[in-house]
Amino acid sequence: MNPTENYTEFLNRKSIKDVPTGKTCEASECHEKLFDFQRLIVAWAVKRGRAAIFADCGLGKTMMQLEWARLVGGKCLILAPLAVSSQTIREAKKLGLTITYAKQQSEVSTNITITNYERVEKFDAEQFNSVVLDESSILKSFDGKTRTLLIEKFAKTPYRLCCTATPAPNDHAELGNHSQFLGVMSSRDMLATFFVKDGDTNSWRLKGHAQDAFWQWLVSWAVCIRKPSDIGCDDARFILPPQVINQIEVATNYKQDGLLFGHEVAGIQGRIQARRNTIQTRVEAAAKMTNGNEQWLVWCGMNKESEQLGKAIADAVEVKGSDSVEDKESRLLGFVDGTHRVLVTKPSIAGFGMNFQNCHNVIFVGLSDSYEEYYQAVRRCWRFGQKKQVNVWIVTADVEQVVVTNIKRKELEANKMQDAMVEHMRKLETEEVKGQSRQRDSYASDTATGEGWTMNLGDTCDWTPKMETDSIDFSICSPPFASLYTYTNTARDMGNCKDEDEFFVHYKFLLPHWLRVTKPGRIAAVHVAQIPAMLCRDGYIGLKDFRARVVAEHIAAGWIYYGEICVDKNPQTQAIRTKSKGLTFAQLERDSSWMRPALADYVLLFRKAGDNGIPVKPDVTREQWIEYARPCWYGIHESNTLNAAEARDEKDERHVCPLQLQLIDRCVRLWSNKGDLVFSPFAGIGSEGYQSLLNGRRFIGNELKPNYWKVACTNLERAHNKRNEGLLFQA
């Protein structure tokens, strides 16, 4: 902790945000040929310095990236897919810009240079002031080596821009790659911060309380737009014509070996084999459709399909992966200009970046399982600027119906998620792009009191400094372990820390005040558990010694480390709850080198220096003390807690986990007298206070989350009534 940093400064620094690194720019400075929404986005991206433009097909990403390069100044390198470079050079002329297509550094001759991703190693990143990744979503298609090369090569480039179509909100790989390339946050940190992985699956999802923070973080460096009105501009010139999808199912006699019926295709290999065995039938069907004078764009996925289509269709030009870059560009641009009537190629070759609004007839001769590949291929023609109805024909063999069904399912899911994302982000994004102020999360503060108890609503680092010196007889609590967005989304929550280091910086703001309010010679009992290290977050699987760091920080703050209790845990219960591979029977039988014992809890005891003015006379017999004096406490049932269901928020990632009442009971009776004041800086739903009141103590607690605070007040009042009823019966 910086000794000169106050708490407010720390909270501002802790908030997850990406500070702009660009230069002042107004929309009015952009070229007049840009639409109003394009000018707003470009001006915002220039001010950001490092930004992403996630704009749907046909919204003019090329024009925006060129204008961005002009305004940031200096030398710019644009990296683009094969065959897109010539199209970009054409677009540049509309803005009066001259850009150079170069294959290596020595050929750079103008301020803006464009090349293909495959040639990036031949350029010196230090010679450029800015870099643009055109169709940047292909980052996730590259192997790890290429992605790492791009990220590391341009890590020091002052200005960075990524341009691609709007990503799916759950495509964490694509979002993480962009964030890491732009220097906003590493992909691993993004996952650990905002996402959660359920069990041993490979599926990630946004944490409940992280959703608002995630969108706010995302719009701070990325614009996601499907149409101009998403940021408050006019859609009049960006309304798409109709799209009609037709499916032609070609009957075949193909039957996969080992299966009874011809319409059964098992697994990916089965689908590939079925596709190979039905090429001729599908090609013949596609060829019949292309007769006439209109242009046709024919997509295929196999070399054999491409070869046969090129022969079967009159006036067809074929673009293959083995063609030279020059031949590819010549044929693709010839199709754009109308020189070639029919283009046959693969989505992997021309499915990204090309503008084919000149054509409104599309044929897929078979489909892969990739919805993104299908979507991008359709959007080469069905994009803003298209004037005619776009007709899409999908020609598949009858045994490929499972692939078509899969693509349709993915399309429905993607559209639903895109709608949700744009709707969620629309207001935030409009404010960000237009530079409007944004209302931050509100912070609630309140106090409730009853007979023998006080509950403060708010940040314990605000409330504890206000408490009276030497007023607390005994403290017991369970600090929120560093686990982002488990229960709230505020920076004031100690659980909302990116890592253990940040947690302990936050914790240090509490410790000296906690020590001050404690009476000399009295004890604070702190419940902790060890924290598992996760591969996605920490780079390895193991344990981090959270317990030891809590001890060290208390000592550094002036506490005396006085003792500890190990609390036994049921390994099977823990295995079910945590899904840890080190506790499962399956892992035991597969490879026991990953096995480890269940993780115990600990109660750490800290004492304030000085003499205790009033001796503690515990409510404990000698026989009980023999049991409590053991280094490990057994018989603490994990289910022996207050009912937490009424406090649980639907966004909570974990069930509310209050301390066990048995554990609190032992501690309160051992280290406090009747009538003493017990304190919990993290009171939750009031478990510590509940048990303290039942044992004739008084209680004061601080709790940040309003839901928990309300339930805590109810529980404390119940405890008071319950004790009074007991005393009445005793009388």
* Closest-CA residue to 164 (of 223, 218, 205): 223
Residues 6+ apart with CB under 8 A from 456: 445, 446, 447, 463, 700, 701, 702, 703
Instruction: Give burial (CB, 10 Å; 0-12/13-18/19+) of 342.
Output: buried
Instruction: Give burial (CB, 10 Å; 0-12/13-18/19+) of 96.
Output: exposed
Per-domain boundaries in the chain: 7-231, 243-424, 446-730
DSSP SS3 for 184: coil
Contact 34, 25 (CB under 8 A): no
For residue 600, give both structure tokens. Answer: 């115990």
pLDDT at 306: 93
Contact 636, 573 (CB under 8 A): no
Judge whether 7-231 and 446-730 match in fold: yes
pLDDT at 260: 44
Q: Which CATH architecture has domain 243-424?
A: 3-Layer(aba) Sandwich (3.40)
pLDDT at 310: 92
To the nearest whole number, what is the mean pLDDT of the chain?
86
- Centre a 10 Å sphere on the Cβ of residue 651 and count the other Cβ atoms it contains: 17
pLDDT at 478: 94
Q: Phi, psi (5° rounding) for residue 252?
A: -135, 165
Q: Which CATH architecture has domain 7-231?
A: 3-Layer(aba) Sandwich (3.40)
Cα Rg of the chain (Å, integer):
32
- Regarding pTM above 0.85, the answer is no
Distance CA 180, CA 144 (A): 13
CATH code given to domain 446-730: 3.40.50.150
Using 50 as the pLDDT threshold, list the residues of the chain that sit under it: 258-262, 647, 655, 731
